[in-house]
Structure 1
Amino acid sequence: MLFVGINAVVGGGIFLLPGQAAAQAGAASVWAYLAAGIVVGLIGLCFAELSTMFDRTGGPILYARAALGRTAGFTVGWAVWLTYLVGLAALSDGFVSYLGSLWPAAKDGEVWIVPALIFVLCLLNTVGVRMGARVVQLFTIAKLVPLAVLVFAGLTFAGAVGNADLSLVPGGRGSFLGAVLIIVFAYGGFEGTAIPAGEMVNPRRAVVVAVLGTLAAVTTFYMLVQYAALRIEPNLASAGSPLASAGEAAFSGGLALLTVGALVSIFGTQSGVVLLAPRTLYSLAREGMLPEVLGRVHPRFKTPVVSIWVTGVLVAVLAVSGSVSSLILLNVAARLYQYLMVCISAGVLRLREPEAPRAFRLPFGPAIPAVAGMLCLFLLSRQPAVNLLATAGALAAGLLLYAAGSRRV
């Protein structure tokens, strides 16, 4: 479960965020990864406890529905889908940026490269879930190799002279909290490690290892990547493809290695998101929370074909019309809403059902969910107003669809 968690979290985000984090906080961006890891760790503990209270699939949708009601459960499910949708668009945009490092013409061809990429992924997942899963597995280990090479180079022979303490890194133009807010994007996926607790031999121990072990390992790895990249390339903040630029400065062939690694990692993460995102939409439709058409399956392949292609079209539109930074912040806003509702659900169920069986029980009663929820609220308050309004608008649109879908229940 520890390796499952690490694979779920380490994806395209680490190739997209180092430059933006450095632009916000400069050399302190290394520690921003630690702060983000602690915040997400507290939220992860809430997922861990809740996952041991239920023996059926549903994750955060199920938790919020049990604690706060059907409508709240829907809004969480819709927010989960929004994080997938906007995250996939950001990854698609980042894919083109890295591809442009090897093939400059790609930057001018985004309007057809992104739709073509999404089309291929949607087609693979329409043909069958097994095909989509195999694509994900293919890229599992490959994405870690170039990052490990970059860390080794940055810690040994490739650092800029006199930059061991990152003194050559320009100060950030934003804030430390701004960097933390952006970095939360790179931790998406950890919540999946807590879901199969009912299938573990010793869930009390295994869930702790899976959630906290994953976040500790990933946070350490992210900090090393950020430190190595800043030590090699002090002006990382101004690089369009940050780790590719660091690779180019590190050693001969580094640009190609890190660029290919980024493309492999981003495509692998995209494959996983295209596998999961439509099935969230499909599940909401099958539960009677969205219009029935979104729950239709392919007559031959038995895949949620309508949800797959609706998600794909929206991703393509978002990717070619937005930027990586704005899409990431929209993803974080929706993700923080999901996390906030899970923390509230953990606190509510602890107060309402204190004696309910929990294979993993948090210490200090509802204190940890309360602290984690307040951190989510604080980070949400640091979001630009336009992102909060966009997220609220997306939730309102979802509630309109929810009202339409609920009429048939």
Structure 2
Amino acid sequence: MEGTGERRAPVPETGDKGLKKGAIGFMDALIIGVASTAPAYSLAAVIGLIVVTVGVQSPAVLFASFIPMFFIATAFYYMNRADQDCGTTFSWVTRAMGPWAGWMGGWAISVTGILVIGSLADVAARYTYLLLTLEGLAASKPAITLLAVVYMVLMTAVCVYGIELSARVQNFLIVAQVATLLLFAVVALFLVFSGSSETSLSPSLSWFNPLAIDDPSALIGGLLIGVFIYWGWESSVNLTEETEDSASAPGLAAVFSTVILLATYLSVAVAVVAFAGIGTVTEFADDDAILSTVATDVLGSPWYLLVVLSVLTSALASTQTTILPASRTTLSMARAGAFPRAMGSVHPRFLTPHVSTIVIGILAIVWYVPVNLISENFLFDTLSALSLMVAFYYALTGFACAIYYRRELFKSVKNLLFIGVAPVLGASLLAYLFFVSIVDLSDPGASYTGSSIFGLGLPLVIGLGFLFIGVIFMVVWRLTGHDDFFGRTPEIVPPEVARGEVKVSETAGAPAESGVAARPGSEDR
């Protein structure tokens, strides 16, 4: 009351979608981008498989996989500079290529989150038991499933409570994760060069040369794995509307995330292959215990538990950060009229998309529990299917960048290289990998379960099946109206937006603000 001396807390500033502006800074966005890829878990999950595929050229595959990721990251940077929308690919592809392509891009992001969240929580649960030396529970599927569901509920609650809490949680988890990985790599390489390991190999520059891989199919197979291991860095851009300096900081965080991941992946891969040797590593082609096993010899007991903790925090961190882009994308789609209106609700106190976040968490649990109880290998096949959808929406974003900026490409060499050539090259390679993986995954023998549906491998059925379900939902949504969204036409970036002087109008169709370039044709709607 007036005159009582009481002070009310300042009302936080919000954007047009109701999200809290300036809630996190550049470092928070960078950490979330790195954490979303779950570097420790990703390495544990695939390093053995990569070594089986290409041998000592594993670092070369990781480097080659980085190139299209870096190129697509530049597309994210320039598209975010023009349009700071938490829907990222959905909003950008809608602007550049029209509502149908944009809808499918948004659907792919949402589905990948739903499919993978349970797998990450599953790993976090198992490694929790291993960290506590509860080997019996670590081998019990019911115990793992129960704890995984608990983790999923907790991480969903953290995401609902507020982006600041999410960022603080990630700041702790990423330090524990990356610091431990680098410590492991340094000690392992020291032991290699000091001759303390009998099975060690001497690293050479040829390990980093993709051209040294004689079998092109092996290189393609390695690149397909690389799509999975780098996937997730763009989560920082999904938080653009909640980040300080939203026009540049989230995009820069995405670019820097890929570079940090490259350094981490190369150092650990070289250390593992050099210390353990090819024979030992290939024994873990489908076993994510490789890091903890090698760490036992490298760090000894009980220090090897630091690596176990690293994988645990990696999977747990990514469980949370994978919820963020899926929930923000569905929020953006709902506000644009592409999804049910309820998914666009923002909590009045926490200023987070609580409805979409809770829905994503529930759907992830609904997918994970029965699939995991049926077969753990079925869960692995789900992860294999992710490469299809990830390559799909990354490629869409790369092409959309060049299309949206097409009148700006020849105004400077920088524009041509970083807005045109790089995104198109990255998108073309990912599109090629998309179709190659369709051929590869069509073989039931390429799946973990060996199962087939209509003569096709289970991962392919899961991947293309969910994309096909998306097409059905999109058509049904169109047939039930929603002309405001489906009536949109492709746009070209206004020159003043390309120069960074103003921003484009919101995808949701909000009226243009002061200093905001109206969407072409919006005045007729």
**TM-score, length-normalised on structure 2?**
0.67
1:268, CA displacement in angstroms? 1.6
Q: Give the stretch that moved more between structures: 66-75 or 136-145.
A: 136-145
Letter in 2 for 1:20: L
Alignment of 1:135-284 (within 5 A): 135-157=169-191, 160-165=197-202, 175-191=218-234, 213-234=256-277, 235-239=280-284, 240=287, 241-252=289-300, 253-284=302-333
2:75 to 20, 31, 46: 46
2:90–2:333 contact (8 Å) kept in structure 1: no
**In 1, Cα distance between equivalents of 2:28 and 2:166:** 20
Aligned CA distance change for structure 1 residues 179 and 160 (closer, same or farther; 3 Å) = farther
Q: CA deviation at 1:295?
A: 3.4
List aligned pairs for 1:292-371, cutoff 5 A. Answer: 292-297=341-346, 301=350, 303-320=352-369, 321=371, 322-323=376-377, 325-351=380-406, 353-354=407-408, 361-363=415-417, 366-371=420-425
Displacement of 1:394 in angstroms is: 1.2
For 1:73-92, what aligned pairs fall within 5 Å after superposition?
73-92=102-121
Alpha-carbon distance between aligned partners in 2 of 1:207 and 1:96, rounded to the nearest angstrom: 31
In the superposition, relative to structure 1, how do residues 305 and 215 fare at CA in structure 2: closer, same or farther (>3 Å)?
closer
Gaps of 5+ in 1: none
Among 151, 168, 177, the residue aligned to 1:117: 151
Deviates more, 1:75-84 or 1:53-62: 53-62
The code of the aligned residue for 1:64 comes to V
CA–CA distance in 1 between the matches of 2:80 and 2:413? Answer: 9
Distance change in 2, residues 1:29/1:361 (3 Å): same
Contact 2:409 2:415 in 1 (8 A): no
Whole-angstrom distance in 2 between the partners of 1:208 and 1:126: 24
Q: Could you tell me which residue of structure 1 aligns to residue 66 of structure 2?
A: 37
1:50 to partner: Cα distance: 2.5
> Could you tell which deviates more after superposition, 57-66 or 120-129?
120-129
Distance 1:285-1:92 versus aligned 2 partners, 3 A rule: same
Secondary structure of 2:334's partner? helix
- How far 1:185 sits from its partner (Å)? 1.8
Distance, in Å, in 2 between the alignment partners of 1:358 and 1:207 is 24
Cα deviation code 1:60-101 (max 9, x no counterpart): 222101111112111111111122222323312322443453
Unaligned stretches of 5+ residues in structure 2: 1-25, 208-212, 443-456, 483-525
Greater Cα shift, 315-324 or 64-73: 315-324
- Distance (Å, rounded) in 1 between the aligned partners of 2:413 and 2:245: 10
User: Alpha carbons of 1:58 and 1:358: their partners in 2 closer, same or farther (altered >3 Å)?
Assistant: farther
Residues 302 and 399 (structure 1 numbering): CA distance in 2 closer, same or farther, change over 3 Å?
farther
Q: Is the 8 A contact 2:86 2:328 kept in 1?
A: no
Cα distance, 1:258–1:200 mapped onto 2, change above 3 Å: same
In the TM superposition, residue 184 of structure 1 has moved relative to its aligned partner by: 1.8
In structure 1, distance between residues paired with 2:159 and 2:83: 29
Corresponding residue for 2:469? 397
CA distance in 2, matches of 1:117, 1:358: 49
Partner Cα distance (1:202, 1:313) in 2: 32
Q: 2:427 matched to which residue of 1?
A: 373
Q: How much does 1:155 deviate?
A: 1.0
Of the three residues 285, 288, 296, the one matched with 2:337 is 288
CA distance in 2, matches of 1:46, 1:283: 19
What number of residue pairs does the alignment pair up? 403
Amino acid at match of 1:291: P
User: 1:3 Cα deviation (Å)?
Assistant: 8.2
SS of 2:158 mapped into structure 1: helix
When normalised by structure 1's length, the TM-score is 0.84
CA distance in 2 between partners of 1:91 and 1:292 (Å): 29
The answer to whether the Cα contact below 8 Å between 1:146 and 1:261 also exists between their aligned partners in 2 is yes
Q: Which amino acid aligns with 2:394?
A: Y
Q: Distance in 1 between matches of 2:102 and 2:90?
A: 5
In terms of fraction of residues, the more helix-rich structure is 1
Q: Does the CA-based 8 Å contact 1:232-1:249 persist in structure 2?
A: no
After superposition, the CA RMSD in angstroms is: 3.6
Deviation by residue 1:210-238 (Cα, 9 ceiling, x = unmatched) = 55544333212211101112223332333
- Aligned-pair identity in percent equals 20
Deviates more, 1:113-122 or 1:359-368: 359-368
State the SS of the aligned residue for 2:46.
Answer: helix
Q: 1:229 & 1:63 partners in 2: Cα distance?
A: 40
Q: Deviations over 1:243-297 (max 9, x none)?
A: 1111112122243111011111221222222233223223222322122343345
Counterpart residue identity of residue 464, structure 2: A
Within 2, Cα distance between the matches of 1:328 and 1:21?
Answer: 15
Rg: which structure is higher? Answer: 2
Distance 1:202 1:342 in 2: 17
User: Structure 1: how far apart are the matches of 2:358 and 2:235?
Assistant: 24
The DSSP-based 3-state class of the residue aligned with 2:191 is coil
Shift of residue 304 of structure 1?
3.5
What is the aligned partner in structure 2 of residue 103 from structure 1? 134
Report what 2:55 is aligned to: 26
Q: Which runs of 4+ in 1 moved over 6 A?
A: 206-209, 355-360
CA distance in 1, matches of 2:481, 2:251: 41
Find the partner of 1:5 among 25, 30, 33. 30
Q: Distance in 1 between matches of 2:269 and 2:389?
A: 25
Q: CA deviation at 1:376?
A: 0.9
How far off its partner does 1:44 sit?
2.1
- CA deviation profile, 1:76-135 (whole Å, cap 9, x unmatched): 111111222223233123224434533221231223122121122223333444443432
For the structure 1 residues 68 and 192, does the alpha-carbon distance in structure 2 shift closer, same or farther, using more than 3 Å as the test? Answer: same
